[in-house]
Amino acid sequence: MPYYGDGGHLMSSPVENVRYNPFSAEVLANPAAAHKELRDKCPVHAFREHEPHFTSLTKHEDVLGALKNIDVFSSQ
């Protein structure tokens, strides 16, 4: 299903079943491998085990789309 995270521009779809903790020892030891897995399996990842919650965008086109739409993709 297409994901229109910025209100109109097609973005990668979020995937709920990928476990990723950017603060884990495994990820910190080899972040490049963890980031590759996210790009391949879950390009839009919501991390809810930290306050504040945050979402990681791993694909260049998704990051550009978010940067161009600060009304939707702002923490303010």
Q: What is the pLDDT of residues 57-71, one digit of tens each?
A: 999 988 998 888 888
Strand (E) or helix (H) holding 13: none
Number of domains, the chain: 1
Predicted local distance difference test score (pLDDT) of residue 28: 96
Task: Determine if the pTM surpasses 0.75.
Answer: no
**Alpha-carbon span 76 to 4, nearest angstrom:** 20
**CB burial class (10 A; 0-12, 13-18, 19+) of residue 27?**
middle
Structure tokens at 11: 């973005």
Predicted local distance difference test score (pLDDT) of residue 20: 87
Tell me the per-residue pLDDT of 13-68, one tens digit each, with 9 for 90 and over: 655 567 889 999 999 999 999 999 888 888 888 888 888 888 889 999 889 988 88
